[in-house]
Amino acid sequence: MRHRRLSRTVAAVTAGLLALTGCGGQAPSDVPAVDALVGFYDQGSGLWPTTGWWNSANALTALIDYMIATGDRRYAWVVENTYEQKRNAARGNFVNDLIDDTGWWALAWIRAYDLTGEQRYLSTARTAIDFMGGFEDDHCGGGIWWTVARTYKNAIASELYIKAAAELDVRLGGGTPYRDSAVRVWDWFEASGMINEDLLVNDGLNNGTCENNGQTTWTYNQGVVLGALVALHESTGDTAYLERAEELADASTDSDAINVDGILTEPCEQTGCGVDGPSFKGIYVRNLGELDRALEDRPYHDYLVDQATSAYENNRTEDSQYGVHWAGPIAGITGATQQSAVDALVAALVPPGEEETDTDATTDGSTGAPAPASTG
């Protein structure tokens, strides 16, 4: 079932400026939120200290996606600074003992390569992906282990590997062994049982029985698989990957398990999401946006705009900082919640050249945006 919800539309009215428009008029969106995201950044450490290591990779990715989408390069220095400050941390080249952490940084550096064209970023991503690939084996029939301890085959490590390996293949010109390994891990993932009868992805497999463990259907697991399938389509040219992605996206955008009154809601929000959970929804909409842009009819655009609009209207302070609850109230503001908000706003952007669907959308380049938040 395709989504055709009536919704406000996001229009790119100038390079670097974006406005949400609809029945309630026009409101500023991504520029103040991005300024606030950089306000959380610590130049000395090269990270977002109010959140975790892997979350900082996602904050960097959200910032890069904004710069690519809008042409605003004011914060390109953050990319280089993070790279220089942290390239020798842990095992070096943004590799550490958690395979999924390594995957998040691999994806961030692929996007940094897309932004800058600098080969060093792609080389770093390749080193990380090679490390991840070393933790594929035949336990439970295949897939990537979650950590170097090899105690848990879970969804996120394999999803990230599929996406990163397929994206790397595309950027290396195609037809590389990375494509073959991405396809192999996807084939295993599809048959593993982690995709349940509701077409939602549970957290992982029981180590002994290798069966779906029935654990939480976190939003990021529903999202990364979509981006992975888009990358597989780009790598192989096979449209079956997009068709499967649409099936999974239809299920997750309609699911009451992760949506409350149409607004994306992490299962942990009522009890507390800790350090990790606040990043998840942003990751979901980022990857759903990648799928949406890969499809000619943009079937998930209205859903994405609903998320961005709800966050803007119900979850934003006067300083354009965003909390964890996109439907409100404002609470738990960190670099991770800000990253998720930026992901939502950027995912809802209409690419340049696409016609607006809202007849009262602004076309004169005005955004009504307040002064940017302090960047510290």
Per-residue pLDDT of the chain (376 residues; tens, 9 = 90+): 444 333 333 333 233 334 444 333 333 368 999 999 999 999 999 999 999 999 999 999 999 999 999 999 999 999 999 999 999 999 999 999 999 999 999 999 999 999 999 999 999 999 999 999 999 999 999 999 999 999 999 999 999 999 999 999 999 999 999 999 999 999 999 999 999 999 999 999 999 999 999 999 999 999 999 999 999 999 999 999 999 999 999 999 999 999 999 999 999 999 999 999 999 999 999 999 999 999 999 999 999 999 999 999 999 999 999 999 999 999 999 999 999 999 999 999 976 666 544 433 333 333 333 333 333 3
Which pLDDT does position 354 carry in this prediction?
65
Handedness of CA 170, 109, 142, 228 (dihedral sign): negative
**What is residue 97's DSSP assignment?**
S
Number of other CB atoms surrounding residue 168 within 10 Å? 25
* Cβ-contact 229, 159 below 8 angstroms: no
How much is the pLDDT for 322?
A: 98
Can you give the pTM of this predicted structure?
A: 0.89
Q: Which CA distances in Å does 87 have to 46, 104, 146, 274?
A: 10, 14, 22, 26
Please state, in angstroms and rounded to a whole number, the distance separating the CA atoms of residues 119 and 248.
34
Q: pLDDT value at position 12?
A: 34
> What's 180's DSSP letter?
H
In three-state secondary structure terms, 305 is helix
Whose tokens are 């690419």? That residue is 351
Q: How many CB atoms lie within 10 A of CB 51?
A: 22
Rounding to the nearest 10 degrees, give the CA dihedral for residues 356, 358, 359, 365. -60
Give the CB-side neighbour count of residue 130, counting CA atoms within 13 A. Answer: 8
Residue 82, CA distances (Å) to 47, 75, 76, 132, 324 in order: 7, 11, 10, 21, 25
pLDDT at 351: 67
Q: Look at residue 303 in the predicted model and tell me its pLDDT.
A: 96
- CA 69 to chain CA centroid, Å, is 14
Helices vs. strands in the chain: H and E counts, helices first: 12, 5
pLDDT at 30: 87
Question: How far apart are the C-alpha atoms of 211 and 38, rounded to whole Å?
Answer: 42
C-alpha to C-alpha distance for 213 and 216, rounded to whole angstroms: 9
Question: Contact 288/300 with Cβ under 8 angstroms?
Answer: yes
Q: What is the dihedral of CA 336, 342, 344, 345, to 10 degrees?
A: 160
Alpha-carbon distance 64 to 62, whole Å? Answer: 5
pLDDT at 350: 78
